[in-house]
Amino acid sequence: MSCPAGSPGLFEIEFDFVDHRLAVRRSDGGAETVRLEPKPVAQFHRETLAALSRLGIQVEIQDRPNEVDPAIPFAEDTEHTSYDPEAARLFWGQLIQAHRVFGEFRSHFVGKVSPVHFFWGAMDLACTRFSGRPAPEHPGGAPNCGDWVMVEGYSRELSSCGFWPGGGEEGAFYAYAYPEPDGFADYRVGPEAAYYSAANGQFLLPYEAVRTAEDPDRALLEFLHSTYEAAAERGNWDRASLEDDPARWQDRQRQH
């Protein structure tokens, strides 16, 4: 990220789940850290802003979490104080593996597609493909998130997949389409453990079904490709223009 006006250069903020610290680094060599350990959210918020300030980085952020209710302002949250290093490291490891497979899935699409990215609000890793056509206006309604955010985010037809660690009965991989085309929910997808949840409006694949599969990568890729196919086929996407084989040049590469 670029530093604010008057502070030339770049800076980055990294969560380090090996040494359990938040690292802030400037391109001119300046650096600060904040320990990841049991402490109130308000204290972590205060320490992080102080670390940025010591590096001359003045920032303004939205002062409360999105997509959750209730949303306690960070500076006032003394209720949430836990930090489990092993649980954090384990979740980070799950994200690494999911990110790797999502990246492979992403490489088969040549239309507009998001990076594999993390949503802090719902704590999910996601990747979204777009058909290129406009979508009907989204009704909004996400807790503590402006409707305009949802309207903009869903302004084009899309097929989205992702992974969340829990919040419901268990962690799961998910896939949905907006707008959901007729026949989407009834489309046959794989692997066998995948199913359509009417309550969630999306396909789900339990994390444990992937973790315990003989070939976890293959099981997850089957889910990602088949649920995208459900959206693309039922939504009449121009698949010939939007998809390609990422290995299409391998034979040529072997010759040189």
pLDDT 10s digit of each residue in the chain, 256 long?
Answer: 666 645 668 999 999 999 999 999 999 999 999 999 999 999 999 999 999 999 998 888 889 999 989 999 999 999 999 999 999 999 999 999 999 999 999 999 999 999 999 998 889 999 999 999 999 999 998 898 999 999 999 999 999 999 999 866 789 999 999 999 999 999 999 999 999 999 999 999 999 999 999 999 999 999 999 999 999 999 999 999 999 999 888 877 766 6
| Token code pair at residue 48 | 């992080």
pLDDT score, position 8: 66
Provide the phi-psi class of 132: left if phi over 0, else alpha when psi is between -120 and 50, else beta: left
pLDDT in tens, 73-119: 999 999 999 999 999 999 999 999 999 999 999 999 999 999 999 99
pLDDT score, position 122: 85
pLDDT score, position 9: 83
pLDDT score, position 5: 46
Location of structure tokens 């302002």? 73
The pTM assigned to this predicted structure is: 0.92
Location of structure tokens 């993390």? 118
Strand-by-strand arrangement of the 195-197 sheet: 117-119, 124-134, 156-164, 172-178, 202-206, 195-197
pLDDT score, position 58: 85
pLDDT score, position 248: 86
Q: Answer whether 235's CB lies under 8 Å from 227's CB.
A: no
pLDDT score, position 89: 97
pLDDT score, position 60: 86
Residue 253: Cβ-neighbour burial (10 angstroms; 0-12, 13-18, 19+): exposed
Sign of the dihedral defined by the CA atoms of residues 235, 179, 192, 171, in that order: positive
The letter for the amino acid at 247 is: A
